Amino acid sequence: MLLTDKQVAIVGGGPGGLTLARLLQLKGVNVKLYERDFNKDARVQGSPLDMHEGSGLAALRKANLLDEFRKNFLPGADKKLIMNEHAEIFFSDHDKPEENFGHEYFRPEIDRGTLRKILLKSLKSGTVVWDSHFISMEKQGEGWLLHFKNGFSAYADIVIAADGANSKIRPYITDIKPFYSGITMLEGNVYNSKKSAPSIDALIKGGKIMAFGNQKNLLMGQKGNGDLGFYASFKAGEEWSATNELNYADKSQILAWFKQEYSEWSTIWYELFKNAGAPFIPRPIYCMPLNQTWTALPNLTMIGDAAHVMPPFAGEGANMAMLDALKLSECLTDGTHQTLQEAIAAYEVEMRKRAAIAAQESLENGEKMHSEHSLAIMLEMFSSH
């Protein structure tokens, strides 16, 4: 096997990096995963993830973790309401079965923290090196010497970047940068929404709401712990988040902004902004060029957002990262390639093509969701599913 007697370093402990570590360990590979979090409990994980049959679930199946996933997913969290700006319901799938594994359009949800625990538990003790914030690396022999913020350094024969959209390893592979999609999202979180936002909580019923109107969106989803994450999504200039003079820690100021910018929207939505925990987080949405390419290296590659950050409007982020992990692990261990460089090249060619298709869909969905006829378009899309 190409990885016999090789030390593999994965930088980044998100779903993609952890899945890759698990898949490689199942093949007997020596793996270390370097994660900047101080420990496994250092950070509250974000909104739930919906897993797709041909990507995230396929990777979990190959990792022998599908049964564990089924024990821990959130039944009903994938159910959605599509509404207009006045909170009138135009579509609901709350009457569909809560469990339909194997169906193309069944996308079971799981809390990010729960998925992380499942993946961490599946790894050998000592695989994850916590408090390892990557700073730089340099070539050493046939591999790389990695340096971390805490002063620690480590050697690896092969390095795999799984360190997200702001990857510090990507520049060692290519200087191609993402472009701004034209859409910005303002993120908020309501803690214990049953008590803090009872009107919205009664509507959402543990699932999701997608509200469309006036070329703007409100997108929200219930978390397993009873909190509610939401996003105001709209078209804006790339510098909007830095130049709008809003104080993101001031809820009254953000509510005033919403009342002005979403002036045609029902007052029911004010409940979200009045009761959210501060600060709000602005998120300009970026995408890698669809035609990106580079020459494969023999000892360095990347997965997930580090390789192909894209808008979230097709729900492909974590799923693509986990599918990257599956495809890369196969290329490195299935014995069909003569050299590591050939294996990495085969993975990267397939990955770029697949990611470009998903990114195109995400960009197109983003345009549809912020168009004049967004509600009608999204109703047609979901009704066909």
Give the separation between CA 114 and CA 5, rounded to whole angstroms. 33
In a shared domain, residues 200 and 270: yes
Domain that holds residue 298: 7-73+109-177+290-366
Q: Which residues are annotated as a binding site for NADPH?
A: 43
Q: Which residues lie across from 284 on neighbouring strands? A: 184
Query: Other C-beta atoms within 10 Å of 201: how many?
Result: 19
Please name the residues in contact with 275: beta carbons below 8 A apart, sequence gap of 6 or more.
Answer: 190, 196, 197
Count of residues in the chain: 385
Assign residue 257 the CATH number of its domain.
3.30.9.30
Give the separation between CA 231 and CA 176, rounded to whole angstroms. 29
Identify the residue whose tokens are 């993946």.
Answer: 119
Main-chain phi, psi angles of 41, to 5 degrees: -105, 10
Q: Which residues are annotated as a binding site?
A: 43, 50, 112, 305
Whether pTM exceeds 0.85: yes
Q: Which residues are annotated as a binding site for FAD?
A: 50, 112, 305
In a shared domain, residues 359 and 295: yes
Tokens describing residue 106? 């069944």
Give the separation between CA 136 and CA 117, rounded to whole angstroms. 28
| pLDDT tens, residue order, the chain (385 aa) | 899 999 999 999 999 999 999 999 999 999 999 999 988 887 665 678 999 999 999 999 999 999 999 999 988 888 899 999 999 999 998 887 767 777 777 889 999 999 999 999 999 999 999 999 999 999 999 999 999 999 999 999 999 999 999 999 999 999 999 999 999 999 999 999 999 999 999 999 999 999 999 999 999 998 888 999 999 999 999 999 999 999 999 999 999 999 999 999 999 999 999 999 999 999 999 999 999 999 999 999 999 999 999 999 988 889 999 999 999 999 999 999 999 999 999 999 999 999 999 999 999 999 999 999 999 999 998 887 6
In total, how many domains does the chain have? 2
In a shared domain, residues 219 and 326: no
Q: Tell me, yes or no, whether 103 lies in a domain.
A: no
Assign residue 357 the CATH number of its domain.
3.50.50.60
Give the separation between CA 347 and CA 333, rounded to whole angstroms. 12
Radius of gyration of the chain (CA): 21
Distances (CA, A) of 282 to 213, 243, 279, 370: 20, 12, 10, 17
